[in-house]
Structure 1
């Protein structure tokens, strides 16, 4: 009894699979035979290139050479995340992780919010001359660290 049910199920599956295959093949033949309709009158026909037509158009015009950004412009652009030519307080503070040791005033290798906010807030407030809440390029230039003269020799 169980074997006959198994055989009947197998035969039924094979018939369904074969029927599905024939239907799929029939639909694919109909799709291949379909022809695109003609465009409505009044629309221009798509031009077809002749045998001796060039394969490509003329070369695009050369782009103007980009000017080399100054050191200060590169530094400003590193902080100006949204590229609106202004550095907000959030943009400046999010980039301050490299100055961790300077901000950790008590030297416990833990930076509290108070240590971080006081140091960066004071620096931002000192640089924001017009008190607008944003740093312009000129204001940001005042926040550059002072360069230390390197010794000429390592004696």
Structure 2
């Protein structure tokens, strides 16, 4: 049994070595047969402008002015990720995934009532400054989402 395994291993090794030699020889033969393309002909001397020739040509034609995109067009373009001029449900909801992940405490991609209520309760408790159990107009105003400050110039 041990002798037959030894013989099989030896035969397999010799076959692998022979195959490697054939591959090596074939690659060197292909490399020798490869012919490099000829170099392009010499174009000759580079022409030089005369002494009194103008330095530049005429000005290129003016490009048409791009119209300023409206606020709704910019908003639409933010959602249209694949630029097919149609906003799909997946594209529309993709901006909400970060907020969903914050609410999904156990990370199972399912939002239970407890997870939702816990986050909402924390937000309510944070807004109820006088701990009265209700939100006054001033306290309720603090629950609005803060908009990001946009710079007036694009520096």
TM interval, shorter chain, is 0.3 to 0.5
TM-score (norm 1): 0.34
TM-score (norm 2): 0.34
